Homo-oligomer: A and B are copies of this chain.
Amino acid sequence: MNEAQAVSALGALAHAQRLRVFRSLVVAGPEGLTPSVLADQLDVARNALSFHLKELAHAGLVTIEQQGRNLIYRADFSQMNGLLGYLTEHCCQGSTCEVSDSSSACTSC
């Protein structure tokens, strides 16, 4: 994960509808979802959804697989983890983070 990839991924997620789409795909897990299901689930117009899915795919956050006449979209967890790692690496100069909860997100501390 480099800076350009991170900016691209963050930009793709910095939109309410796309964030909902992505989170739906994250929740769906390895099974993935089709655009039809997503459109029904999130109440988004299909062409708008198509546009947003393309944005997410372009940022590398989702993968596409064709099955017959349906497409299966899946969240790309390795890319996601790369992004999370990019955001937190080298943090706090080796000292402990001031985190209040038990989240392990700040792994390099």
User: Residues of A at under 8 Å CB distance from B?
Assistant: 3-4, 6-7, 10-11, 13-16, 19-20, 23, 26-31, 75, 77-78, 80-82, 84-85, 87-88, 90-93, 95, 97-101, 103-107
Contact = CB atoms under 8 A, between A and B. Distances in A.
A104 B106 contact: no
B14 A95 contact: no
- Copies of the chain in the assembly: 2
A-B interface, 8 closest residue pairs, ranked by CB to CB distance from nearest: A29-B92, A11-B14, A10-B14, A84-B105, A81-B103, A26-B91, A14-B14, A81-B105
A27 B93 contact: yes
Nearest to A78: B100
Contacts of A14: 7, 10-11, 13-14
